[in-house]
Amino acid sequence: MTIESKAFPRSHYCGELRPEQAGQAVQLCGWVQRSRNLGGLIFVWLRDKTGLVQLVFDETICGPALFALGESLRGEYVLSAEGDVSLRAPEAVNDKLPTGQIEVFVKRAALLNSSQTPPIYIDEDHPDENEALRLKYRYLELRKPSVQAMLRLRSKLTQTLRSYMDSQNFIEVETPILTKSTPEGARDYLVPSRVHPGEFYALPQSPQIYKQLLMLGGCDRYFQLARCFRDEDSRADRQPEFTQCDLEMSFVEPRDVQTVVEGAFQAVFRAVKGSEIKLPLERITWRQAMDDYGSDKPDRRFGLKLQDASGWAKGCGFSVFEGAPQLRGINAKGCAGRLSRKEIDALGEFAKTFKAKGLAWMSFGPDGVRSPFLKFLSDEKAAELKALMNAEEGDILFFVADQESVVLQTLGQLRLEIGRRLKLIDLEKDDLFWVTEFPLLEWSEEDQRFLAMHHPFTSPMDEDLPLVQADPGSVRAKAYDLVLNGLEMGSGSIRIHNPEVQEEMFNMIGLPHDLAWERFGFLLEAFRYGVPPHGGFAFGIDRLMMALTHAQSLRDVLAFPKASNGACLMMETPSSVQEEQLRALHIAPARE
- 271-319 pLDDT, tens digit each: 999 999 999 999 999 999 999 999 999 999 999 999 999 999 999 999 9
**Coil, strand or helix: which one is 434?**
strand
- Dihedral (CA of 518, 520, 524, 529) sign: positive
pLDDT tens digits along 188-224: 999 999 999 999 999 999 999 999 999 999 999 999 9
Q: In what order do the strands lie in the sheet with 368-370?
A: 306-308, 326-332, 396-402, 360-365, 368-370
Across 60-67, average pLDDT: 93
Instruction: Give me the phi and psi of 13, to 5 degrees please.
Output: -90, 155
- Using 50, 70 and 90 to split pLDDT, how confident is the model at 425? very high
Residue-level pLDDT at 1:
45
Residue-level pLDDT at 143:
94
pLDDT tens digits along 469-478: 888 889 999 9
pLDDT tens digits along 226-278: 999 999 876 767 899 999 999 999 999 999 999 999 999 999 999 999 999 99
327's CB contacts (< 8 A; 6+ apart) are 308, 309, 310, 312, 313, 321, 399, 400, 401, 407
- Dihedral (CA of 223, 227, 561, 45) sign: positive
Kind of pairing between the strands at 221-229 and 241-250: antiparallel
Query: What is the pLDDT of the chain when averaged over all its residues?
Result: 93
Start-end of H helices in 73-221: 131-136, 138-141, 145-167, 208-216
Residue-level pLDDT at 4:
60
pLDDT tens digits along 146-195: 899 999 999 999 999 999 999 999 999 999 999 998 765 678 999 999 99
Of the chain, the end-to-end C-alpha distance in Å amounts to 66
pLDDT tens digits along 69-103: 999 999 999 999 999 999 999 999 999 999 999 99
Residue-level pLDDT at 516:
84
- Using 50, 70 and 90 to split pLDDT, how confident is the model at 443? confident
Any idea what the Cα angle at residue 78 is, between residues 75 and 79, rounded to 5°?
110
What percent of the chain has a predicted confidence (pLDDT) above 90?
79
pLDDT tens digits along 1-36: 445 678 889 999 999 999 999 999 999 999 999 999
pLDDT tens digits along 452-471: 888 889 999 999 988 888 88
What percent of the chain has a predicted confidence (pLDDT) above 70?
97
- Asked whether residue 432 carries a pLDDT value surpassing 90, the answer given is yes
CB distance 14 to 53 below 8 Å: yes
To which H or E segment does residue 228 belong? strand 221-229
- Asked whether residue 139 carries a pLDDT value surpassing 60, the answer given is yes
Q: How far is CA 149 from CA 176, 205, 556, in A?
A: 31, 29, 12
CB distance 358 to 348 below 8 Å: yes
